[in-house]
Amino acid sequence: MKASRSRLSKPMAKAVQDYTASIAYDRRLAPYDIQGSIAHAKMLAKQGIITAAEGKRIVQGLEAIGKEIAEGRFTYRDELEDIHLNIESRLKELIGDAAGKLHTARSRNDQVALDARLFVKDAIARTIGRLYTLQSALVAQAERHTKTVLPGYTHLQRGQPVLLAHHLLAYFEMLQRDVGRFVDCLKRTDVMPLGSGALAGSPYPLDRAFVARELGFSKVSANSMDAVSDRDFVIEYEAAAAIAMMHLSRLAEELVLWSSSEFRFVELDDAYTTGSSIMPQKKNPDIAELARGKTGRVYGRLVAMLTLMKGLPLAYNRDLQEDKEGLFDTVETLNATLEVLAEAIATAHFNEKRMSAAAHGGHLLATDYADYLAMKGVPFREAHGIIGELVQYAIANSKDVSELTPAEFQKFSERFGPDVLKINVRTSVDSRKVIGGTATASVTKALAEAKRALHGAR
């Protein structure tokens, strides 16, 4: 079956057939193509465009094909170019000439646009589910570590002490924004394009709202030319995926750093690490490294899609066949990365003693001493300078600032009193009670809010 060659006097050259065929990858759309075709057939019968008997035979045939596909018994034929013609050809084998009536009032242009939207809607749901799973793993670890202190870093230099729970919840917030982006993407994906025809609409008395309801769409497309050539929803998914992968790459980078001998903040479960082919002592965080590497792959798919679309005139162009492989790869890459990182986080062991030791060195209380002076009336900029000199003194004397005596503090400012010794890592953490701060009280509230958000979402 090659309806597209009815105007042409010669058969397609083998090289052209190989070059233009998409069945090798668009077969992934098969369940969605079946779903859309069943809804279309029901609507054609409902509107009297085909008979009720024809509609019933078509639907039964499509359901049989759907079962063949699900059970792996369907034979895909490269010479039939794409998934649409493969299914229609098989339908003709099953029910005869009535199969040809299925294509009434539709084009492969609006058909593939429909399939792609159904696929992306499903992909969004699966991705959001995996985001929730990773968020749940982060929350579970955070609950175990509401008292674990470690250094917070800027410029990869120790800055101030923070709770590990606070640190982990930072990634929860990133992923929460990712969830929001995918939810927002769904709003613009949830538009039913079938009925747009090749580009100009249809002369048949279609009930597009019926098809939309059958397929679970909230609205129908408003412009036929836009509907068949729009791939914004693909770009939006890939853009949201690129941002999500960036967040995952940041998390992965910290897993790589923290699992090193230099940090020893975390040990990944053996099941989520690899060994070395030559160095038997090695335990490598390969999944984190791959997550970091695959981020560039997802970025590339987004740039490719933007480049694909930027020069296309209205309406449909065959260039749009190139939208699928990148989309499929992005969905697979993102979802697999979310899944494996969720499992790695859930089974990871955080080294509380090592983190605590790191938090008690490196002059992490310097800012607290500056705040101490500021609260006693010293302008903060002046206090900042005083503490800078104090740190230099401590380094010269091979001490941490927290190890200095009241007398040593008073060499730099008479505002220091004996109570300066009450400042420690725990008071530093718990003094930051503002909303969004690292104090135990603030983190406890943030944890509760995170759990409520997950419970409400699920």
- Does the annotation count 363 as an active-site position? no
Q: Are the CB atoms for 327 and 297 separated by under 8 Å?
A: no
Phi, psi (rounded to 5 degrees) for 17: -60, -45
Active site residue 155: yes
**CB neighbour list of residue 253: distance below 8 Å, 6 or more residues apart:** 288, 292
DSSP count for the chain of H helices, then E strands: 18, 6
Phi-psi region of 326 (alpha: psi -120 to 50; beta: other; left: phi over 0): alpha
Long-range CB contacts (within 8 A, 24+) of 85-93: 85/1, 85/2, 85/3, 86/23, 86/27, 87/30, 87/33, 87/34, 87/37, 87/62, 88/1, 89/1, 90/65, 91/58, 91/61, 91/62, 91/65, 92/1
Active-site pick, 4, 218, 260, 276: 276
Contact status, residue 229 vs residue 320, Cβ threshold 8 Å: yes
- What DSSP letter does each residue of 124-143 carry, written as one string? HHHHHHHHHHHHHHHHHHHH
Please answer whether residues 121 and 219 qualify as being in contact, where contact means their C-beta atoms are separated by less than 8 angstroms. Answer: no
Task: Give the integer Cα–Cα distance in Å for 194 and 202.
Answer: 10
Per the listing, tokens 């646009």 go with 113
The Cα 42–Cα 61 span in angstroms is 13
- Give yes or no for a contact between 440 and 429, defined as CB atoms under 8 angstroms apart: yes
Residue 401: DSSP 8-state: G
Do 301 and 330 meet the contact criterion of CB atoms below 8 Å apart? yes
**Residue tagged active-site, from 155, 277, 398, 455:** 155
Upper half-sphere CA count for residue 94 (Cβ side, 13 Å) = 20
- Peptide linkage before 457 cis (omega within 30 of 0): no
CA distance 296 to 230: 25
Of 331, 237, 339, 246, the residue nearest 292 (C-alpha): 246
The Cα angle at residue 73 between residues 68 and 78, in degrees rounded to 5: 100
What does 94-115 look like in DSSP terms, one character per residue? Answer: HHGGGGGGGGTT--HHHHHHHH
CB atoms within 10 A of CB 158: 17
Tell me the catalytic residues. Answer: 155, 276
